[in-house]
Structure 1
Amino acid sequence: MVGQARQAAQAAQIQRIYYDTRGDLLPPNKRQEYTQNLTDLAKKYTHPLGKTGAADHRILFNTGKSGITPISSPPPCLIETDQQKLSRNQLKAYQKTRFRGFTTAELKELNALEPLDFETHKNELTNIDIHPAFRRKRWLTEKDLPKHLGVPPILGGLDGLWEVTNPVVWAVVKPCLQMASMMLMNEYEYGWLDALFRGRLEKFAKDKGKQLLRLHPRTGLEMRTDSAADEIQKFFERKISKKIDLRIDSGYSVMTGMPIVTNPLSGVTYERPLDPGIHVSLSLEMFEPLLRTDLTDAERLGNTWNVAKTLVHEMAHATWRALKRYKPPYAEPYFDDQALSELGFSFINDICGGEPARMLRRPYWSGGPGVPQLGIWSNYWFNSTNAGYTTSAGAPPQNKPVEPDEIDPFYTRDDWVVPTSWHCNMFLNNWWNVGVVKFSREFTHMGPLQHGYRKIDKRAIEAGNIEPRKIRVGEGDGTGLLYSEGPGDRIVISDKLSIANRKAIYAEQKRMVEAGKILFALTKNPGYVGAPNDNTDNGERPPRIQYQCRRWDEIVAYLFANRGPKELALDTMTLLSEPQFYRYIRGRGGINLTGLEFREFLAVANERGILFVWEAHPGRGLVIRRKEGWPPAQDYPLEEIDQPSDEAVELDTLLSDEGTAGVPAKAAIPAKPAENGAPAVPSVPATPAVKAVLGTQGKIFRDFGVNRDVDVKIFWEFLYKEDPTTWDIPLDRLIEVVDESINLGSMYITHGPEGIVRFIYDVPDHVWEAATPFAKTRVADMKKRAGL
């Protein structure tokens, strides 16, 4: 048993190896070599290693399989051996663990798996006008970004960067924007978007002294008494959309340019004090599957739909921010009777009748390029599973009490199987021009939903309150934390509709879906019975990539010749993202490198143990300078300065402010008399809490994260925000002050590449505590490997 536990722990550790699961970032010839032992499905959906949650992939050991292929029963004439029967049952149990209690044979029968849907599905929305908020001019390119941020190159044999001015990128982005436009423009007439603009805001409770708000939709009568839809459309398109810009970035980077998380965000909406406007960033990993040439129509439309859905989700957040209807501390209200504060999921719930969740979850990406979604589950997002995640961090769940003998919907999650033809049919003109017009709101809801899987959080119900993030949904883990009930039958039809309309919608959806007869419903809790005894070896690791750099000598010579301050500043370089470093080289000029050539160089340098330490994943790479391999640095004489200016002195003084860590309050400890030979212990008085003071170094970390480089223009804006009186100076004057401070031997800044200020002080421990746990361990490991 000890050996099995150890092997299971090793398998879980293997899953935390970050790599390109299908060689997507390699040139085509290298990718073919990298994936030669994988099945066709594994080339798209990965050959998973180790363990992901409760799913133990060791059952696929050295098979090159995806674990997705449906398992068929043997023909009646074939008699299985006990071992064959055991293996087949174990594979079924493994699939049930991965797929919410269903085998992939059952999901295929329900027409829910996109790669196994070989029907022809057309995109008829190719002539749709793109909504003004999504048009190409609203998308940022690298030239619009601060100089310390770089746009990732596409790689994988394709040229250029991940920006919409690149024809390769625009070809996959445009259909997503057309679908998002259809979704958004269809919403003007309905209550959710109307509520966002004109709904009633109710102050309904306080939490720890903070006011909570709830947003209520207007009644149908109120909406009919004015030209709300037309006015909202005009206001949205002429005013709101101009306040919002969009960009494509790695979902692992989380706004800082540094890949520092392992589970990427699909999209994020944010504002920054030094970055005016409202920004929506979509993960390039969502777009990456759409670059493939081997997708079925259902896969291509499904992944296009997923991007469109994510964009519309983020537009709910962005629109609310642009309307400025809120005040701190909570950014968003609760919508109507929903238990959690999250407008993006609320908007999608209104459009789709639930949350369309991808079947293949992001942990299967293993920190690398995005993987197709496989299919869609429908669930209701506003339950205990997600209680730890809201846009308004810290806003508590507002679930309603239920009778003791009732199942609490807040602690219940139903995952319903959605046929692929639901999202495929949304790309047909008649879906919108006939179905939506005829049947109104509910026609866009997922359906028909007939088979699903229920999970109930028993401990949450019994204890009344547990840590929501510890709930595992869709993975029976043998702890008794979750149990299932039979799926029952459900179709997505509003109870407010007449019986005739309900029947008409159901009949129309069934006609368009052409789903066929459904033969089964699952009622048992899936449990993985363990990998076969002969496959418990944990030795399978990601395949090794043998990089070659044909231009090694040329690139090394270029770096040596451009290592100085205001060139590439390599002698003071610490941690850079790969796209950031690549932008510095392109900005400096003097060599023409493709993104793939640069990556090959970094890989070879890392392999040889000279010049740089490089990590390719998660995200698009981190680079740090190492000591080995460099010739002695050239001396760069500093300008002698007799008398420092007031601004130079003030700059160093400001940057020296580390702030202070907070100290929690301590209760009084009563005195203890001497007894049984033990001496008396005097009382200790209570001490009040000491509030943390965020000094300049803490504010720099808050705004730029682990990135130690900053565009001098952004630094100028940062200083002005801190002290408008002192730093109300022209940018050219600040550049002079920075030069002066560095010439005086500043302990806090030095020159980066041209136009970049580089911070060189050690980040205080109490400031570093704000970093993500992964960032802390990752940066420490890279510094150790670099000998820093």
Structure 2
Amino acid sequence: MAPIYGFSDKTHQLLPNAQRVSKVQRFSKLAQKYSHPSNSDCPRTVLSHSPIAGTFKSGLTPLPLSATGWTQDQRLIHNYQKRRLVGFSSSDMEKLGALAAIPNERFGDDSSLEAVTAVMRVDDGAMSWLDNPIHPMYDRERWVKLSEMPLHSAPIPVRGDAEGYWLAENPHVWDILVPCLRLASQMLQHAHMVGWWDGLLNLNLKRITTLGRIPVDRRNLPLYTFHPRPGFTPLDPANRKEFHEKLAKIVPKIKIRLISGYAANEPGVVDEEVCLYGICGNNLLPNTGTIFINVSSELLQVLSTGHLNSDEKRLARFEFANTLMHETAHAVWYALRDDFQKTKKSKKPTHGEPYFETEPLQELGFSLENNMWGGDPKSLSSFGVNAAGGPGLPSLGICKSSWFRECNSGYDNNDNIPLDPPAPVPGQPDLYYISDYYPIPTTWFIDLQKKDKWEYIVRKVGISATQMGPTTYGMRNKTKIKDPRNLLQISTPLTQLQGLYVLGMQRADMTSLEIAALEQEVSRVEKAIKILNTASITFLAMYPDNVPVRATTAPAIDRSLTRERYPCVSKRYEEIRQYCLNNRKPLQLAFDSMDFDIPEPTMYRYILNQGGITISPTEFRDFLHCCQSKRRLFEYQPFPGPGMITKVPNGWPIETPYTIPSQRLAIDGQYFDDVLETFEKEGFRTSLYRIFGEFRDVDIEWLRKFLGFWFPGRILDSAGFRDIINDLAIDNTDILTLGPTGIARFRYPIAAADRKANITPYTQDRRKRNPPSNTPSPTTTPVGSPSTTPLGSPTTTLTGTPIVSAPKP
């Protein structure tokens, strides 16, 4: 029987469309995009999806406007939606124009309400979409190419009906990226208007001296805040010129790459069961100065295969652009950090990132979002639903929240230190411990992708024109338990809405085009005011939970239906199996020594580099499904992320001895000894584990450069270092052997202390479920031993491919 997986592609996005259609035909229209959530999803969520169990529906369809005559099942769905959508039902969200998934027309016969909400959408033809050039920071040349990737990592196949990899050099991927990058470019082109950017780029930092804000045990650490420079003027043309000149000096230091959010590490090994949007960090190699922005390809997957409507596409593009800007904030700080430290007399580095003004947490990305948008544009899909380890699901909509309030607990570790916030105003609640959620009309992120918004509004008014809104109704949570029964309905004061976008004397200086664009902004505010003034817009409370948990009309649940089966359908299984058996030795595919998990894309890249067979990513995945079904050669888990492979003993014939040729004529003896000593050092092994985790393969050229941390100024040339690795694999098989061409495979035991300090919970759990095989060290006959050939004599017994200086990608 085909194996059943807990992690899965919930909406079958990775299948060709012809296959996907048959898979999703039992789903409702919304479930085909947003999935049918299940309590058996991995990872599990706190929210119970029992009210929609067995229905193959999304649970998101708005219920009829009037609750009169609702069945018990409908009441269960109402409660379920309230729990899932932070205190609002789908009908509530639709009233507020906040659902990208559902056209902004009302169901039912409430004509007065329809008149109010339908006009919340601005006519798409009123403004033209962004067509601006892409900022040099995000130019195509800044994106990592396949030829630049070390051999121990690999790009992720796009799948579906598209070909190629998630690389900007792929035309299909670049076409998806361009609208996202145009929006991100507008954000960066107007960054000179943001006081936040002015303070960071000009390094206007101040040491925190108010000890009362710093935890007692951290008061000796150099913590800093940053602020706009005195006299900062957002609309000053001179400020724009100065800002972009400074930013231009940082651009060459930054590279961008698409990764899997489940595998945000150097070798691309899956180590998380929840997808990260992005991560940023310095290059792990010394003396390069390169900073990498890593963004999740799962964010783009829905734009390739998600079958989205126009609003959903624009929301997906906004989320990607916002994530890219978030990580850019971190990258710019990394680029400036050394310059700041050089200006200080103290040799102590800054501890972590600086805080912006009175913010309590060190998180520049969310800090920038807070200052650009007036809060955190949180995806409604973040509440109680996950992608179950598969590709990204589209976002239903967004709500305005505060990351700093949501994450003020559980954020304390060695690198991040929460500060005590300023004391609240007497008689007012302490907002630091209160979370507010305001659904945001879809028109907000749609208008951000229109040219007139930036050319005529933002340039004239400033960055206040990009703030989320207009907000109307929201929910306030005063407890750490975000149960909707604890939420308090709140609303935006009318006086606050009435004060938006008032330009005063500036209006007289505006052109007709600027005034037309302004009128669009004003009309959105007016519609929000009408919503607040419309008495028919009410929000039904939750019903008592003294009813059955599961919908009474839902069919009995076959748990196997909520998990995906992958039968053995590979037509080339025997051919690929024999290929693996014929290429199992060092300098081939090195399966004999593969006693650790390896990402599916990495093994696929090894096969392409080895040659001798032509195989597509889909054919390789079908082969792996057969291996899993037959329990031969490999155990395969296709999700989470890009998939992981584990070698199993069954199906492998007894390995035959393999001779690794000696390269000792070219070896620098002292350097050989130094490298061997370094590989035996605890510090080296700890550093390598922090980067690679349980993965043992390292690109030899990458390793040569990495040793620059231990041998400053003594880096051996590439050919000489390859010879050293080659002979270490002969004489020190307990430390390393040769993997596929260009790969050193470490064999020393991983220290328990390194695992305890660095292993992720997901990896730890995977190790318990899939203990590493007891594969012995590879059987090699060292050329040059007394019983064979004299030291340094050439050999002709090599049966694999020799290490080459420029292996094909």
**Separation (CA, whole Å) in 2 of partners of 1:90 and 1:772:** 37
- Answer yes or no: is the 8 Å Cα contact 2:78–2:542 preserved in 1: no
The answer for unaligned runs of 5 or more in structure 1 is 1-14, 458-470, 660-694
- Answer yes or no: is the 8 Å Cα contact 1:58–1:536 preserved in 2: no
**Separation (CA, whole Å) in 2 of partners of 1:151 and 1:606:** 23
Match for residue 265 of structure 1 among 266, 276, 296: 276
Mark the CA change 1:199 to 1:117 in structure 2 (over 3 Å): closer, same or farther. farther
Match for residue 306 of structure 1 among 313, 319, 340: 319
Shift in Å at residue 347 of structure 1?
A: 1.4
Shift in Å at residue 202 of structure 1?
A: 1.0
Residue in structure 1 matched with residue 686 of structure 2 by the alignment: 698
Mark the CA change 1:68 to 1:16 in structure 2 (over 3 Å): closer, same or farther. farther
Matches for 1:184-333 after TM superposition, within 5 Å: 184-198=188-202, 200-205=204-209, 207-220=218-231, 227-237=238-248, 239-256=249-266, 257-274=268-285, 276=288, 277-292=290-305, 294-324=307-337, 325-327=339-341, 328-333=349-354
Residue in structure 2 matched with residue 113 of structure 1 by the alignment: 99
Mark the CA change 1:177 to 1:642 in structure 2 (over 3 Å): closer, same or farther. closer
Shift in Å at residue 538 of structure 1?
A: 6.5
**Separation (CA, whole Å) in 2 of partners of 1:225 and 1:435:** 16
Residue in structure 1 matched with residue 365 of structure 2 by the alignment: 344
Mark the CA change 1:613 to 1:181 in structure 2 (over 3 Å): closer, same or farther. same
The answer for unaligned runs of 5 or more in structure 2 is 105-120, 342-348, 508-514, 777-809
Structure 2 residue matching 1:571: 3-state secondary structure: helix
Q: So what's the TM-score if we normalise by structure 1?
A: 0.84
Mark the CA change 1:219 to 1:526 in structure 2 (over 3 Å): closer, same or farther. farther
Mark the CA change 1:266 to 1:448 in structure 2 (over 3 Å): closer, same or farther. same
Report the AA paired with residue 259 of structure 1.
Answer: V
Matches for 1:360-759 after TM superposition, within 5 Å: 360-361=381-382, 363-389=385-411, 393-402=415-424, 405-457=427-479, 471-473=480-482, 475-476=483-484, 483-490=486-493, 508-512=520-524, 517=531, 519-520=536-537, 522=539, 531-532=549-550, 534=552, 539-540=558-559, 541-573=562-594, 574-638=596-660, 645-657=669-681, 659=682, 695-724=683-712, 728-759=715-746
Mark the CA change 1:786 to 1:266 in structure 2 (over 3 Å): closer, same or farther. farther
**Separation (CA, whole Å) in 2 of partners of 1:338 and 1:626:** 51
Aligned-residue identity in percent = 27
Shift in Å at residue 780 of structure 1?
A: 3.5
**Separation (CA, whole Å) in 2 of partners of 1:561 and 1:346:** 54
**Separation (CA, whole Å) in 2 of partners of 1:203 and 1:177:** 36
Mark the CA change 1:308 to 1:403 in structure 2 (over 3 Å): closer, same or farther. closer
Shift in Å at residue 596 of structure 1?
A: 1.1
Residue in structure 1 matched with residue 512 of structure 2 by the alignment: none
Mark the CA change 1:157 to 1:733 in structure 2 (over 3 Å): closer, same or farther. same
**Separation (CA, whole Å) in 2 of partners of 1:214 and 1:373:** 34
Shift in Å at residue 547 of structure 1?
A: 4.4
Mark the CA change 1:137 to 1:609 in structure 2 (over 3 Å): closer, same or farther. same
Residue in structure 2 matched with residue 132 of structure 1 by the alignment: 136
Structure 1 residue matching 2:641: 3-state secondary structure: coil
- Answer yes or no: is the 8 Å Cα contact 2:130–2:449 preserved in 1: no
Structure 2 residue matching 1:280: 3-state secondary structure: strand
- Answer yes or no: is the 8 Å Cα contact 1:411–1:456 preserved in 2: yes
**Separation (CA, whole Å) in 2 of partners of 1:617 and 1:203:** 46
User: Higher relative contact order by CA 8 Å / sep ≥ 6: 1 or 2?
Assistant: 2
Query: Do residues 60 (structure 1) and 49 (structure 2) align?
Result: no
Match for residue 100 of structure 1 among 72, 86, 97: 86
Query: Do residues 355 (structure 1) and 370 (structure 2) align?
Result: no
Shift in Å at residue 289 of structure 1?
A: 0.8
- Tell me which moved more, 709-718 or 634-643: 634-643
**Separation (CA, whole Å) in 2 of partners of 1:160 and 1:752:** 25
**Separation (CA, whole Å) in 1 of partners of 2:180 and 2:17:** 26
Query: What per-residue deviation string (whole Å, max 9, x for no partner) do you get for residues 227-284 of structure 1?
Result: 22201112212x1111111011101111231111111111111113316311101100
Shift in Å at residue 293 of structure 1?
A: 6.2
Mark the CA change 1:508 to 1:224 in structure 2 (over 3 Å): closer, same or farther. closer
Query: Do residues 70 (structure 1) and 66 (structure 2) align?
Result: no
**Separation (CA, whole Å) in 2 of partners of 1:240 and 1:144:** 20
Residue in structure 2 matched with residue 46 of structure 1 by the alignment: 35
Mark the CA change 1:16 to 1:633 in structure 2 (over 3 Å): closer, same or farther. closer
Mark the CA change 1:201 to 1:620 in structure 2 (over 3 Å): closer, same or farther. same
Mark the CA change 1:314 to 1:54 in structure 2 (over 3 Å): closer, same or farther. same
Q: Give the total of aligned pairs.
A: 711
Query: What per-residue deviation string (whole Å, max 9, x for no partner) do you get for residues 560-597 of structure 1?
Result: 22221111111111321111111111111222211111
Shift in Å at residue 523 of structure 1?
A: 8.7
Shift in Å at residue 633 of structure 1?
A: 1.5
Residue in structure 2 matched with residue 691 of structure 1 by the alignment: none
**Separation (CA, whole Å) in 1 of partners of 2:332 and 2:398:** 27
- Tell me which moved more, 21-30 or 403-412: 403-412
**Separation (CA, whole Å) in 1 of partners of 2:192 and 2:12:** 43
Structure 1 residue matching 2:352: 3-state secondary structure: coil
Query: What per-residue deviation string (whole Å, max 9, x for no partner) do you get for residues 138-183 of structure 1?
Result: 0002211111000010112321100011111111111000011111
Mark the CA change 1:323 to 1:757 in structure 2 (over 3 Å): closer, same or farther. same
- Answer yes or no: is the 8 Å Cα contact 1:330–1:392 preserved in 2: no
**Separation (CA, whole Å) in 2 of partners of 1:716 and 1:552:** 38
**Separation (CA, whole Å) in 2 of partners of 1:640 and 1:274:** 28
**Separation (CA, whole Å) in 1 of partners of 2:416 and 2:326:** 21
